Amino acid sequence: MGSTSVASIVLNAAIPAFSIIAWLMLALGSGGNLAQRGVESLKYFTVLSNLFSAIVCTIYLVVGMQPNLGVPDWLLALKLASASSVMLTFLTVVLALAPVYGWKSMYSGGNFWLHLVLPLLAAIDCCLYVPLGQLPAWWTITAMAPTMLYGVFYLRNILVHGAEENGVTYDFYQFLRWGRNRIPVVMLAMLLASWGIGVLLHVVSSILG
């Protein structure tokens, strides 16, 4: 359909706007479990991945929608990585967190947008309007980058401090409940899931875009 379609412009303008609003809702206390007020909310992958998606959409509006110019591969890779990261949070909530913490809690306040609406909008944009098909298939490995970067910092904190230290919770995703020896397995599974989502988005975009 082309990167300059009206629908794509609307999506890439709406995602940043609603991402900021949803984050502010969360930071001001409108959220269920796994939600923190203020800058503490920035420790969550859900928040960071959605803000990353907002930044990429803004760049896409400025750079990727210039008349008569193609979308550069680096920008397509960013779109793929950002959409994959927010879709990872979507699937994690559906398959793991909501059954534990409750569906209402996971989709209340700002989390309704961060966990559900914004990931779906990002996926729709990538599948229908972003020309991911022109991106070489091996570039799908970039879908793992946000998860890997976040994982490095998260794992460092829990390996150094443990689940909790001096009243500060470091393992808020409870990775340590499976034992330290299983952390590499969990991390590998998250990376492969991110890559799998990226490959799926690339394939669907190639067919439908």
Supply the pLDDT for residue 161: 87
DSSP string, 84-119: HHHHHHHHHIIIIIHHHH-HHHHTSTHHHIIIIIHH
Which is nearest to 198 in space by CA: 83, 104, 92, 102? 83
Supply the pLDDT for residue 1: 41
Supply the pLDDT for residue 175: 80
Give the total number of structural domains in the chain.
Answer: 1
Supply the pLDDT for residue 2: 44
Three-state DSSP class for residue 67: coil
Supply the pLDDT for residue 74: 95
Give the structural domain span for 56. 6-208
Entry pTM: 0.91
Q: With contact defined as beta carbons under 8 Å apart, do 208 and 127 qualify?
A: yes
Supply the pLDDT for residue 178: 77
Backbone angles phi, psi at 168, to 5 degrees: -105, 125
Residue 84 inside a domain? The answer is yes
Residue 66 inside a domain? The answer is yes
Supply the pLDDT for residue 35: 60
Residue 175 inside a domain? The answer is yes
Residue 81 inside a domain? The answer is yes
Residue 1 inside a domain? The answer is no
Which is nearest to 46 in space by CA: 98, 93, 102, 95? 93
Q: With contact defined as beta carbons under 8 Å apart, do 87 and 193 qualify?
A: no
Three-state DSSP class for residue 164: strand
- List beta partners, residue 168: 165
DSSP class of residue 116?
Answer: I
Residue 52 inside a domain? The answer is yes
Low-confidence ranges of the chain (pLDDT < 70): 1-4, 30-38, 67-68, 209
Residue 97 inside a domain? The answer is yes
